[in-house]
Structure 1
Amino acid sequence: MEKRLHTFFESGVLDKYILDETSASECLKAELYIDTYPEVKSEYLRLQSNLEILAKADAVEAPKFILDAILNNVEQDTNPVIQMNKSHRRTPWYSIAASIVALLFAGASYMMYDQNQELLIENQAVVDEIFDLRSDIAINNQKLDDLMLQFMKLNNPETEKYVFRGNARAKNLKTVAYINTVDKTSMIDVVSLPQLGEDQFYEVWAQMEEDLVSLGIIDPSERKMQALPYMENALGLSIRIGSRKNGITNSNEEPVAQIALKSKNN
């Protein structure tokens, strides 16, 4: 809406409307915006006030001798005032007919104006829908670009594919990791994860030379590629079941799936 109001103010239609220099369509547009948007109405009142101030500032006061001359002429005028007799003639029928036609024309004009206002509002609603549609298209295009980027990464010859298969504690677990040591990127694709308890979660760990490093929690509901931090010189990856009890997070469980990563020297 801010962009639409900015475009309207920049068009100069409101300034032309104040100066009575607008066309019929511009006049309707200005009146619609004044009635619809408080910001436009406030700016309209401000411009109108400024115009009145300028008009008063440029006004030239009539010389006092002119008023004195007019009063002297009135006092010197001795012509009697002729009293006009009131006419009691009936109003001609064509005057009545003309009045009726004028009323009908006024009513038709008001109906056309009202319909035109409704049409302008409908047109504005269509414009708003077009803006929303363009926004949705931009979002969808961004999603397509992200998917294309992921597809290119997966089909990169330097990308290695690793399949996690669950052990006896998570028989239906199956996820796929994609790691590119050249671009230094890693992703994980959730294929299937067994249901856990309310306070449990799946967490990915990287096995380093001396310790384990957490790479984050897997979201089971996210059925798309999830990015993982890339760990240089990681020896392997594992998926473990963590738990939250009494506000304490415990992730020291044994892995339910693990893989060994290929060495650069291999």
Structure 2
Amino acid sequence: MMNDKITTFLNSGLLNKYLIGQTTTSETLEAEHFIAEYPAVQKAYEVLQNKLEFTAQLNAEKAPQSILEDVLNTIEEKPVVTLKSKRTKKWYSLAIAASLAALLFAGSSAYLFNQNNKLSDENQIIVDEIFDLRSDIADNNNTLHQLLEQFKQLNNPETEKYVLKGNTRAKNLKTVAYINPKEKKSMIDVISLPQLPDDKVYQIWAELQDKMVNLGVLSEADRRLQEIPYTQDALGLSISIEPKGGSQVRSKDTPVAEISLKLNE
């Protein structure tokens, strides 16, 4: 990416002045220093040289003879001014040429500057897209790693499978819990949940000897294998209907699904 020092130099027009021989001694040294020191400036200088040569060739067309005759006739009839010397005429022509060249190269420099900025913007877009792609790859690799870990847990001989089916209050409810007491891992697969009013949710609990432990709220959006907190010495699992947002204490209503665990056998 072009640094500020190079950008300021290219935008100053000094390179254009140097190309047409209009720089002072100090400006000449500065221009030659930048050309020798920075490849980007050297490249811009070469482009300007090529543009000058191309423009000169493009405009080097012979004027029609009729135009020349008209001009001569006009001069003979009404001489506008008498030039004092050939040197004055030459200086005047060079001044016009220098002015035109300065305008041409000022435009060329601005064009190059804009093109460089455009290229820098495009490069930044590509960098951002590569970064996003790498981020997506990392996320996919992380998801794949989690799936492999879950697959290993499901196929572990120490993992017990428990199917919780709903009672008459939730006939279509079905979830599957996978518990490995040796690895202290618990997972649940939400297969189906009957629809509830907007102010109610399903909540799963672990039953201990003297209390119920909240393991989280279940949702249709969670219809995938996911980890839940492992509870040491749990006697069973149950699913109840609670107020929206969940509850820290299980309702006194009969659970809609429950099952005993064999972890202590």
TM-score (norm 2): 0.63
**Cα deviation per residue 1:200-253 (whole Å; 9 max; x = unaligned)?**
1111122223443322222332222232221222221111111269x9976222
Instruction: Tell me the SS of whatever aligns to 2:137.
Output: helix
Q: Residues 99 and 17 from structure 1, CA distance in 2 versus in 1: closer, same or farther, beyond 3 angstroms? A: closer
| CA deviations over 1:101-146 (Å, ceiling 9, x no partner) | 3432332232122111211121122112212221222122112111
Residue in 2 that maps onto 1:122: 122
CA RMSD of aligned residues (A): 3.5
**Pair 1:23-2:23 in alignment:** no
Q: Which runs of 5+ in 2 are unaligned?
A: 9-32, 44-83
Residue 27 of structure 1 and its aligned partner are, at CA, apart by: 11
Hey, what does 1:44 align to over in structure 2? Answer: none
Work out the CA distance in 1 between the residues paired with 2:243 and 2:229: 22
Note the alpha carbon deviations across 1:158-199, whole angstroms, 9 max, x for none: 111111111111011011100001101111111110111122
Partner of 1:171: 171
**Using the alignment, how far apart are the partners of 1:191 and 1:27 within structure 2?**
68
How far, CA to CA, are the matches of 1:144 and 1:229 in structure 2?
21
| Aligned pairs (5 A) from 1:93-112 | 93-112=93-112
Q: What TM-score comes out, normalization by structure 1 length?
A: 0.62
Amino acid at match of 1:197: P
- The answer to whether the 8 A contact 2:212-2:249 is kept is no
With over 3 angstroms needed to count, the CA separation of the structure-2 counterparts of 1:120 and 1:214, relative to structure 1, is closer
Match of 1:36 in 2: none
Instruction: Give the whole-Å Cα distance in 2 for the aligned partners of 1:184 and 1:173.
Output: 26
CA shift in 2, pair 1:26/1:208, >3 Å: farther
Matched residue SS, 1:255: coil
Counterpart in the other structure of 2:67: none
- Which structure ranks higher in relative contact order (CA pairs < 8 Å, sequence separation ≥ 6)? 2
Aligned residues: 196
For residues 26 and 264 of structure 1, the distance between their equivalents in structure 2, rounded to whole angstroms, comes to 79
* Paired amino acid for 1:99: S
Q: Deviations over 1:54-86 (max 9, x none)?
A: xxxxxxxxxxxxxxxxxxxxxxxxxxxxxxxxx
Relative to structure 1, is the Cα distance of residues 96 and 213 closer, same or farther in structure 2, using a 3 angstrom cutoff? closer
Query: For the residues of structure 1 that align with 2:230 and 2:118, how far apart are their CA atoms?
Result: 58
Describe the superposition over 1:19-59 as per-residue Cα deviations: whole angstroms up to 9, x where unpaired: x876244999xxxxxxxxxxxxxxxxxxxxxxxxxxxxxxx
* Correspondence for 1:195: 195
Whole-angstrom CA distance in 2 between matches of 1:255 and 1:141: 39
Residues 198 and 244 of structure 2 are in contact (CA less than 8 Å); yes or no, is this contact kept in structure 1?
A: no
Question: Does structure 1 retain, via aligned residues, the 8 Å contact 2:235–2:264?
Answer: no
The separation in 1 between residues aligned to 2:7 and 2:105, in whole angstroms, is: 25
Paired with 1:211 and 1:103, the residues of 2 have a C-alpha distance of: 88
Following superposition, the deviation at residue 263 of structure 1 comes to 4.2
Q: Which residue identity is paired with 2:261?
A: L
Identity, % of aligned pairs?
Answer: 49
- Equivalences for residues 1-266 of structure 1 within 5 A: 23-25=38-40, 89-90=88-89, 91-243=91-243, 251-265=251-265
Which residue is equivalent to 2:29?
A: none
Distance 1:152 1:170 in 2: 32
Amino acid of the residue matched to residue 207 of structure 1? E
Structure 2 CA distance for partners of 1:14 and 1:97, relative to 1, 3 Å: closer
- Tell me the distance in 2 between the aligned counterparts of 1:248 and 1:233: 19
In structure 2, the CA distance between the partners of 1:16 and 1:111, relative to structure 1 (3 Å rule), is: closer
Residue identity opposite 2:130 in structure 1: I
| Gap change, CA 1:135 and 1:97, over 3 Å in 2 | same
2:30 is aligned to: none
Indicate how the Cα distance of structure 1 residues 17 and 112 shifts in structure 2: closer, same or farther if over 3 A, else same. Answer: closer
